[in-house]
Amino acid sequence: MSGYRLTTVETVREEGSWAFTAREGDADREVFLVPCADEPDGGTAEDGSDAGQPVRAWINRCTHEDQRLYREGVGAVTRDGSVVCPKHGSAFDTCEGSCDNGEAAGTTLRAIDIEVRDGAVFLTDDDLAYLSEGLPDDDGDDDAGPSSSSHLTF
């Protein structure tokens, strides 16, 4: 068992989401964690799947447009077990990453491999190397928030 210790399940639950930056090849990737299951320490379901995983990690981009789902100072907006895109309102299941509504319907967020051990969350994705907690300095694309065409309000 290896991996970089990111945070705790408790922190993700208390904050509602948690983000970090990692390196993949020559590019930096933004990743966010969101609560999924209610189990305190995750574990493995009877069928061998990780259905009991208490948090999930996703690349911080909507599949419809290059839009952040997690923003500094706001976090990831979640509602009824979904992460909601602030631009078009597409809702991605927090546990599966799939979307069945809005502009991103039929797509799935890119998952990042993590593991929960004794309440701590570890980055175990072989393609990513941890760089820092939080998002990199903003390049200006999301400073004022997205210009929304969604009927949803937050």
Buried b or exposed e, range 114-151, using 16+ CB within 10 angstroms: bbbeeebbbbbbeebebeeeebeeeeeebeeebeeebe
26: left (phi over 0), alpha (psi -120 to 50) or beta: alpha
Domain spanning 4-128, CATH architecture:
3-layer Sandwich (2.102)
Domain boundaries, the chain: 4-128
One pLDDT digit (tens) per residue for the chain, 154 residues = 689 999 999 999 999 999 999 999 999 999 999 999 655 554 444 444 445 689 999 999 999 988 999 999 999 999 999 999 999 999 999 999 999 999 999 999 999 999 999 999 999 999 999 999 999 875 545 444 444 444 444 4
pTM beyond 0.95? no
Q: Give the strand pairing for 18-24 and 129-133.
A: antiparallel
DSSP 92: E
